[in-house]
Amino acid sequence: MSAITTEDQLASFTLAAGFHSAATACGLKKNGALDLALVWSDMPCAAAGVFTTNRVQAAPVLVDHRTLKVASGRIRGVFANAGCANAVTGERGLADAYRMQALGARAIGAADDEVLVLSTGVIGVFLDMDRLAAGVTALRGPGAQTAPHAVTRAITTTDTRPKVASAEFTLAGRRVRLAGFAKGAGMIHPNMATMLAVITTDAAIDAAALDRALTAAVGHSFNRISVDGDMSTNDTVLVLANGASGATIASAAEEAAFVAALADVCASLARQIARDGEGATRLVELRITGGASEHQAHRVGDSIACSPLVKTAIHGNDPNWGRVLAAAGYSGEAIEPDKVRLWFGDGDAIQLLDRGLPVAFDKTKASGLLQHDPAIIHLDLGLGDASTTVWTCDFSAEYVSINADYTT
């Protein structure tokens, strides 16, 4: 699997075969940056989506839920905007989301229910539909930016960089490609996907199998990250499969290979989101082992990932391991403190806790290990064989600065 993350490599990023893209600025972002993106396929796609479980759901989330119920085997594209979340906007917001869907469909010659919509930005603000309608016209005009990396920028908000990833594998002698992009830096927390992401593939796979694959991939990627413990109203991950490669996913073995590749792409995007957390200076990888169940390991890891005390200690390179143990203890899981062991680092790891008791350690070395990117914390619960990995980031004063005056 190849993950493309640097500015130089971003220019070479491509979607899967048979997919096209366009981006433009229509004025939804105050700074005049790209804010409208369209991705579409030459042919109908099987599609699947995973959405926020927040009880407050944005209008585009509601529209996509309904659309996938009736048209998951014939989706043609995804139309997205930044600069306005179209969330908590009532019936008017829902009508605007449907109009947005219709505008996107008209741009690519599709039926209204063959386009999915995404929005991101400030909650409680109505979409400027006049600007959006003008933008759609521009998307299919000569001034539109058609390079795939342009659409990755058009959906960003407080992100400092685009997030893209791709994977390829061979199936029945044919090369299959998966390629996706995502946005997310704040309001990042499960349960679901914690951002916006669009993944394209040229494999042929039916909608039901694609839904199974996406659910499995999300469970160990986007549902294993946290920046600030806040779950958005707009979180959506979409995957579209158009079959342009001529390779069909038909057997259990083929589906397993596809799931593995999709999981790789999702995990790369998830790590990039956590690394780009608002104000973050490094990625943090929490390895939780020795769980009685994977659910327990995940809950413990999630609790640690959400702790402001843990995250600020990591930012300050302070090996205050007691904060890690305290966060594990209030996770709600029945851990047994006298069985817990704790390490910082990977190949050069040092142990700080052994079966619930402190271990003498070199504080300077421990501090240095927390400066690594990623900083690795390994907690073994001593209760079984289950394990998981959760990704988060450090917590700096810059996070407060970004969010203290977000709308003012």
* CATH number of domain containing 294: 3.10.20.340
- Tokens matching residue 122: 């400030």
| 217 and 360 part of one domain | no
pLDDT in tens, 211-223: 999 999 998 888 8
| 251 and 294 part of one domain | no
Residue 136 lies in a domain: yes
Question: What is the C-alpha separation between 249 and 228, in angstroms, rounded?
Answer: 38
| 26 and 46 part of one domain | yes
- Total structural domains within the chain: 2
- Cross-strand bridge partners of residue 262: none
Residue 1 lies in a domain: no
Report yes or no: 42 and 223 within 8 Å, Cβ to Cβ.
Answer: no
Residue 111 lies in a domain: yes
Residue entry with tokens 């995502």: 182
pLDDT in tens, 315-327: 999 999 999 999 9
Indicate which residues carry an active-site annotation: 194
DSSP state, 145? Answer: B
Domain boundary residue among 274, 291, 323? 274
**C-alpha distances out from residue 95 to 129, 353, 397, Å:** 11, 56, 39
Instruction: Show the low-confidence residues of the chain (pLDDT under 70).
Output: 1-9, 185-194, 227-232, 402-403, 405-408
| 253 and 362 part of one domain | no
| 229 and 124 part of one domain | yes
Residue 376 lies in a domain: yes
| 254 and 288 part of one domain | no
Residue-number span of the structural domain to which 290 is assigned:
283-404
Using alpha carbons only, give the angle 164, 105, 178 rounded to the nearest 5 degrees: 25
Residue entry with tokens 């930012």: 315
Residue entry with tokens 């995007």: 269
**C-alpha distances out from residue 347 to 312, 351, 369, 388, Å:** 24, 12, 11, 18
Computed over every residue of the chain, the mean pLDDT equals 90
Question: What is the C-alpha separation between 230 and 212, in angstroms, rounded?
Answer: 26
Residue 294 lies in a domain: yes
Residue 2 lies in a domain: no
| 47 and 136 part of one domain | yes
| 264 and 287 part of one domain | no
| 239 and 347 part of one domain | no
Question: What is the C-alpha separation between 366 and 294, in angstroms, rounded?
Answer: 28
**C-alpha distances out from residue 407 to 84, 122, 232, 233, Å:** 11, 8, 16, 17
Question: What is the C-alpha separation between 69 and 88, in angstroms, rounded?
Answer: 23
First to last CA, the chain: 42
Residues near 38 by Cβ (< 8 Å), separated by ≥ 6? Answer: 21, 22, 23, 77, 78, 79, 80, 104, 107, 108, 136, 139, 151
Domain boundary residue among 222, 253, 274? 274
Report yes or no: 238 and 213 within 8 Å, Cβ to Cβ.
Answer: no
Question: What is the C-alpha separation between 297 and 266, in angstroms, rounded?
Answer: 20
| 265 and 381 part of one domain | no
Residues near 242 by Cβ (< 8 Å), separated by ≥ 6? Answer: 16, 17, 18, 19, 41, 42, 43, 44, 45, 200, 201, 202, 204
DSSP state, 323? Answer: H
- Tokens matching residue 255: 């589906």
Domain boundary residue among 243, 274, 305? 274
The counts of H helices and E strands in the chain are 12, 14
Question: What is the C-alpha separation between 53 and 47, in angstroms, rounded?
Answer: 19
Residue 398's pLDDT is 79
Residue 127's pLDDT is 96
Residue 16 lies in a domain: yes
| 328 and 230 part of one domain | no
Report yes or no: 107 and 101 within 8 Å, Cβ to Cβ.
Answer: no
Residue 397's pLDDT is 76
* CATH number for position 257: 3.60.70.12
Question: What is the C-alpha separation between 94 and 87, in angstroms, rounded?
Answer: 9
| 232 and 307 part of one domain | no
